[in-house]
């Protein structure tokens, strides 16, 4: 499963993308964020406030309860500030 990061999430994690293989009990976007936060100090910093993290699955916004099974690309990022 490919995960991509943007803005300060990318800076804190220290990479723009990676392939991860979460265990089977990680079934939703919220679960994935929690699981990533446990992967080390940089991840803990990036995901220290899970409620501000936004996610997209295959280029469409996905709230925390969205099931991630079948996703090709999951993006995690801060609230958007375009326009």
Is the CB of 39 or the CB of 54 nearer to other proteins?
54
Smallest separation (angstroms) from other proteins to the CB of 61: 7
**Nearest-approach distance from CB 83 to other proteins, in angstroms:** 4
CB distance 31 to 65 below 8 Å:
no
Among positions 17-76, residues that touch other proteins (CB under 8 A) are: 56, 59-61, 75
Pair type for strands 73-77 and 17-19: unpaired
Give the three-state DSSP class for 15.
coil
Tokens encoding 83: 């326009």
Q: Is residue 83 within 8 Å of residue 12, measured between CB atoms?
A: no
- Residue 6 is a binding residue for other proteins (CB under 8 A): yes
Question: Which of 24/49 has CB closer to other proteins?
Answer: 49
Q: Which helix (DSSP H) or strand (DSSP E) does residue 33 occupy? A: helix 29-37
Residues at the interface with other proteins (CB under 8 A): 4, 6-8, 56, 59-61, 75, 77-83
């Amino acid at each position: 499963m490919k995960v991509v990061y943007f803005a300060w999430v990318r800076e804190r994690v220290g990479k723009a993308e990676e392939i991860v293989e979460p265990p089977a009990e990680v079934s939703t976007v919220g679960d994935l964020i929690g699981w990533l936060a446990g992967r080390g100090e940089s991840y803990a910093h990036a995901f220290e406030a899970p409620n501000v993290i936004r996610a997209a699955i295959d280029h469409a916004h996905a709230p925390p309860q969205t099931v991630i099974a079948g996703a090709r690309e999951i993006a995690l990022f801060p609230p958007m500030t375009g326009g």
